[in-house]
Structure 1
Amino acid sequence: MASWRRVVFGLILVLCFSGESIVSMAAIKAAYWPSWTNSYRPPSSIDTNYFTHLYYAFLEMDPLTFKLRISPNESVLLSEFTAGIKQRDPRVKTLVSIGGGGSNSTAFALMASSKPSRKIFIDSTVEVARKFGLHGLDLDWEFPANPNEMASLAKLFFEWRGAIEAEAYSSRRPRLLLTAAVYFSPKFFLSDTPRSYPSKAIKYHLDWVNAMCFDYRGSWDTSKTGAHAALYDPKSNISTSYGIDAWVRSGVPQSKLVMGLPLYGRTWKLKDPNVHGIGAPAVGVGPGDTGVLTYTEVVQFKSANNGTVVYDRTTVSTYLYAGDSWVGYDDAQSTVGKIRFAITRHIRGYFFWAVSYDQDWEISRQASEAWGHH
């Protein structure tokens, strides 16, 4: 028995000093909650049975002071978010996401370029997290524009992790989680300015990254329909399978990779209603605001227009068409297919953009059941 105890103790030491723990390796079933959806999907209404982590989206950084900007209304929303989730299920971790697709990338670059401005930003984020009872912080900088900005990002991650470790030690509280939302691939191979994320800094300083595995196709190309979150693309590397595998090849551990799943679709107007497959000729965006429908709106559109639904095995995606309207999206079947892929890749879990867009928790529930206890 003594030898077994020594083996177990040794394993515990290895886990501790490798930066991982048995608890931290639990599966992640996450989702972002857009604060502007509060009127129809307040935090208290979220069915927390299907999630382990929920993100408040978004807080902005003041481009002049580099501190987080919180209006009186934002303060109320943040308080309602943490209180509402805690009341539903205190085991669910809450994080705040900073930035977002509409944020000022140039301001992030300026903040990250010097140690004093990074410290101001970091201190502000920790202060906000503790004030509102959050469990963690998430950076959604879309996107560092060149190799220099990626190098600044690595420094930011290093100093941020050091700061939250020190704060946890001095305050005797659990350490704040630190995550980031990132491009679907570690390398921006489609860009005129090729650059790559600092994989080593991610490996050592972040708890995990949320790879945004969606928006591969959309309103910026109205010439043909597309699966905007294709798991596979036989014609290109613009796919979730390529992105996830590339992240692993870059040196980011599978235990720090979380796969993004969309709860919305992108729409096109077909050139010919009789030609309606993926890649069919199109002449513009279809229904929805700028060619986007939430999953709830997709369900409603299908019902109102007697749409025809097709599951595409090649891309592991779903689309529907009605007249000259075409919508590419993920339903429960394609979502479960992607989750099975994620399980085979032994990555940490998945996240949804965005929790407010589901229809009666249909996809959230089936995703959670498909992942099970992996």
Structure 2
Amino acid sequence: MKLLVPLSLLALALAVTAANDGLMVCYYGSWAVYRRGNGKFDVEAIDPAICTHLMFGFAGLGSDNKIKVLDPWNELCKDSGKCAYNRFTALKARNTNLVTILAVGGWNEGSPKYSTMSSSASTRKIFVDSSIELLKEHNFDGLDMDWEYPTQRGGKPEDKVNFISLLSDLSTALHANNMILTAAVSAGKLTIDPAYDIPGMAKHLDIVNLMAYDLHGAWDPYTHHQSGLYQYPDDTGDNVYLNQDFAVRYWIDGGMPSTKIVLGVPLYGRCWKLDSNTEEHGYYAPARNPGPAGPYTRTPGFLGYNEICEFQKKENNWVVEIAPGMKEPYTYSYSHSRIWCSYDDHDSCVEKANYAKSKNLAGMMVWSIETDDFHGICGRPFDLIKTLRETFTGGDIPTPPTLPTTTIDPSAPPTTAPLPPPDDNCSRPGINADPENCHHYYLCTVSVDNTYSAQEELCAAGTLFNPNASICDWEDAVCAIGSGICKNDCP
């Protein structure tokens, strides 16, 4: 007789790795494979022992309502691809407790097509069925729904109801296949109120990844902390809502069990260029422009933690301070383009993990693993992730169980044939910019006849393709790069 385990227990077994062990959810931004120098981060750079759950970001949504592979050359094996999906899930051989999940959506995808897909049972079924097929094909353990955001950014008012229907359909199908459903959600009250039916979400989600960051950034004309644990004493108006403590309490008060919430911590800083070389360098200092791009992430207004700590290690003119009443640092340098960054470090990670534990949360989450100090240039490798997990659990990270090694790696990509010569749209496989139009880019694969096949991808409204970072990025951030980038699309 076959023993039937309740679906809720199956989900729990995948969601929680051991008794009294907290979750450590780590997102991976797969485009980091295209970064330069010490910033380059491929799947094999992931330490599979330090996270309980790994999220591959991102898959997308096609015009046919099916889940869509966004970078086939990097993520699939066919056409001399790099097999990143298979290599990612193969990390479970080095940690058999590891849960690998495919995240779908993200900021670049926008909202309108998800709004359309979720609006009817038939289109939802197309998405759900295609998702299950893709997850099974590549040995993922679940799906992370990262729609940013229902009813917002071109969405429709009925998204709030349709999102619950989508989660219900996904949950039923995933649990029937011994997989879990998670979602990345906003920490902002002004987004939460119109977008989310929290009790409805609680019925269907196994884990809620609370994106408690990007609460402030270069879109504000003044400095502030992007991931403050508590309200800054001088905050007024809507800024009183823009802190992690408010977001956690608001989700719990709204009906989400604390034991399903993981608290997100950014492994990067949001940066401004101070308006002047004055002594005004605290919160609310005038700063109407983003800080300069870093050498790896190459996006104005944004620096990975690895970039920040390397700057501080190599240059002695960086000042680090903590504002009164706050728990996390900010740093500035007048000689480095008057840059000012809010970020998290070792000590603030201790504070936030202890806070999450005190609120009986499920654990911690980071965006994203490839901007931690993974080379260990400033200390031990992956110090921020390790600190969050060790603090939350109150112990060392255990040595994970592994599978016996084999002489043949079934996930290894095939031998790469010589690449075809460049054509009008493609200079190499993978993501390619259009130098004349930053509203789109091309996904290029190598066909069987050793020529390029180009698929056009549009950037969401309000974004442009950043050829330095190989992503669609904020329009203002891309235009701030200068040097002729997107000159036809920037004012």
Q: Normalised by the size of structure 1, how large is the TM-score?
A: 0.87
Q: Distance in 1 between matches of 2:47 and 2:24?
A: 12
Q: 2:174 aligns with which of 164, 167, 170?
A: 164
Q: Distance in 1 between matches of 2:201 and 2:393?
A: 27
The aligned residue for residue 107 of structure 1 is 113
The aligned residue for residue 345 of structure 2 is 331
Once the two structures are overlaid, the 10-residue window that deviates more, 231-240 or 22-31, is: 22-31
Q: Distance in 1 between matches of 2:12 and 2:89?
A: 25
The answer to which structure has the higher helix fraction is 1
Is the CA contact (8 Å cut-off) linking 1:218 and 1:267 kept in structure 2? yes
Q: Distance in 1 between matches of 2:64 and 2:11?
A: 35
The aligned residue for residue 321 of structure 1 is 332
- 1:296-343 Cα deviation digits (max 9, x unpaired): 011122234321111335232211111122111011111111111111
The aligned residue for residue 149 of structure 2 is 143
The aligned residue for residue 302 of structure 2 is 292
The aligned residue for residue 176 of structure 1 is 179
Q: Distance in 2 between matches of 1:101 and 1:86?
A: 28
* SS of residue paired to 2:109: coil
Q: Distance in 2 between matches of 1:24 and 1:155?
A: 22
Q: Distance in 2 between matches of 1:179 and 1:23?
A: 11
Say yes or no: does 1:362 pair with 2:363.
no
The aligned residue for residue 80 of structure 1 is 87
C-alpha distance 24-295 of structure 1, shift in aligned 2 (>3 A):
closer
Q: Distance in 2 between matches of 1:22 and 1:78?
A: 23
- 1:178-226 Cα deviation digits (max 9, x unpaired): 001010146627xxxx5141212221111011111000111211x2111
The aligned residue for residue 437 of structure 2 is none
Q: Percent identity?
A: 30
CA offset at residue 147 of structure 1?
3.8
CA offset at residue 16 of structure 1?
8.5
C-alpha distance 165-89 of structure 1, shift in aligned 2 (>3 A):
closer
The aligned residue for residue 33 of structure 1 is 28
Write the letter of the residue equivalent to 1:252. Answer: M
CA offset at residue 57 of structure 1?
0.3
Structure 1: stretches of 5+ with no match in the other structure: 1-14, 169-174
Q: Distance in 1 between matches of 2:324 and 2:95?
A: 37
Q: Distance in 1 between matches of 2:310 and 2:29?
A: 21
Q: Distance in 1 between matches of 2:48 and 2:12?
A: 24
CA offset at residue 37 of structure 1?
1.2
The aligned residue for residue 165 of structure 2 is 155
Q: Normalised by the size of structure 2, how large is the TM-score?
A: 0.67
- 1:117-154 Cα deviation digits (max 9, x unpaired): 00000011111111101111001100112541010000
The aligned residue for residue 279 of structure 1 is 284
C-alpha distance 249-105 of structure 1, shift in aligned 2 (>3 A):
same
Is the CA contact (8 Å cut-off) linking 2:267 and 2:344 kept in structure 1? yes
Is the CA contact (8 Å cut-off) linking 2:258 and 2:361 kept in structure 1? yes
Is the CA contact (8 Å cut-off) linking 2:269 and 2:305 kept in structure 1? yes
Give matches, 1:48-127, under 5 Å.
Answer: 48-62=48-62, 64-70=63-69, 71-75=72-76, 76-83=83-90, 85-127=91-133
The aligned residue for residue 308 of structure 1 is 319
- 1:33-60 Cα deviation digits (max 9, x unpaired): 1111135222222122221000000011
CA offset at residue 283 of structure 1?
3.5
Is the CA contact (8 Å cut-off) linking 2:222 and 2:287 kept in structure 1? yes
Write the letter of the residue equivalent to 1:226. Answer: H
C-alpha distance 277-153 of structure 1, shift in aligned 2 (>3 A):
same
Is the CA contact (8 Å cut-off) linking 2:189 and 2:241 kept in structure 1? no
Quote the RMSD (CA, aligned, Å). 2.1
Tell me the matched-pair count: 346
* SS of residue paired to 2:208: strand
Q: Distance in 2 between matches of 1:37 and 1:59?
A: 15
Say yes or no: does 1:268 pair with 2:272.
yes
CA offset at residue 248 of structure 1?
0.3
* SS of residue paired to 1:228: coil
C-alpha distance 77-23 of structure 1, shift in aligned 2 (>3 A):
closer
Q: Distance in 2 between matches of 1:335 and 1:181?
A: 20
* SS of residue paired to 1:317: coil
Is the CA contact (8 Å cut-off) linking 1:310 and 1:318 kept in structure 2? yes
C-alpha distance 286-87 of structure 1, shift in aligned 2 (>3 A):
same
- 1:96-116 Cα deviation digits (max 9, x unpaired): 000111003100000000000
The aligned residue for residue 5 of structure 1 is none
Is the CA contact (8 Å cut-off) linking 2:142 and 2:174 kept in structure 1? no
Q: Distance in 2 between matches of 1:138 and 1:72?
A: 22
Structure 2: stretches of 5+ with no match in the other structure: 1-5, 35-39, 77-82, 294-298, 374-380, 396-491
Q: Distance in 2 between matches of 1:369 and 1:312?
A: 26
Q: Distance in 2 between matches of 1:108 and 1:186?
A: 21
Q: Distance in 1 between matches of 2:163 and 2:180?
A: 17
Once the two structures are overlaid, the 10-residue window that deviates more, 143-152 or 246-255, is: 143-152
